[in-house]
């Protein structure tokens, strides 16, 4: 899977900064910000404010990974619960 690095300027806490991320991460950020009803700048500001160390691009990548990993685990648990309830109903 090839995803080129794209550099974009974004305003974070009133300051313009450049962030370099692979296109897949930009797409993930757009999806997350839309789901939360916030702008991309607001989401990046939230991530920036919560990071302990490292650079902003790394913090964003970790945030996106954690977001989608959490969703995948929840979906798997939900599907597993459905399977168990269907088996119980058929017995």
Q: What is the pLDDT of residues 51-89, one digit of tens each?
A: 988 899 999 999 999 999 999 998 888 777 766 666 656
| pLDDT at site 78 | 75
| pLDDT at site 83 | 62
| pLDDT at site 2 | 78
Give the pLDDT mean for 40-51.
Answer: 95
Exposed, middle or buried, 22 (CB in 10 Å: 0-12/13-18/19+)?
middle
Residue 26, phi then psi, degrees to nearest 5: -60, -45
Asked if the model's pLDDT at residue 91 lies above 60, the reply is no
**More confident call, 7 vs 76:** 7
Residue pair 12/45 in contact by the 8 Å Cβ criterion:
yes
pLDDT band at 25 (very low <50, low <70, confident <90, very high): very high
Domain 5-90, second-level architecture = Orthogonal Bundle (1.10)
User: Residue 51 in 3-state DSSP?
Assistant: coil
**Of 53, 21, 68, nearest in space to 40 by CA:** 21
E strand or H helix that includes residue 11: strand 5-12
């Amino acid at each position: 899977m090839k995803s080129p690095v794209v550099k974009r300027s974004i305003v974070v806490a009133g300051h313009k900064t450049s962030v370099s991320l692979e296109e897949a991460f930009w797409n993930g950020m757009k999806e997350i910000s839309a789901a939360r009803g916030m702008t991309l700048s607001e989401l990046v500001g939230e991530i920036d404010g919560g990071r302990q160390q490292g650079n902003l691009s790394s913090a964003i990548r970790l945030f996106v990974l954690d977001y989608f990993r959490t969703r995948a685990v929840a979906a798997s648990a939900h599907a597993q619960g459905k399977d168990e309830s269907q088996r119980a109903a058929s017995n």
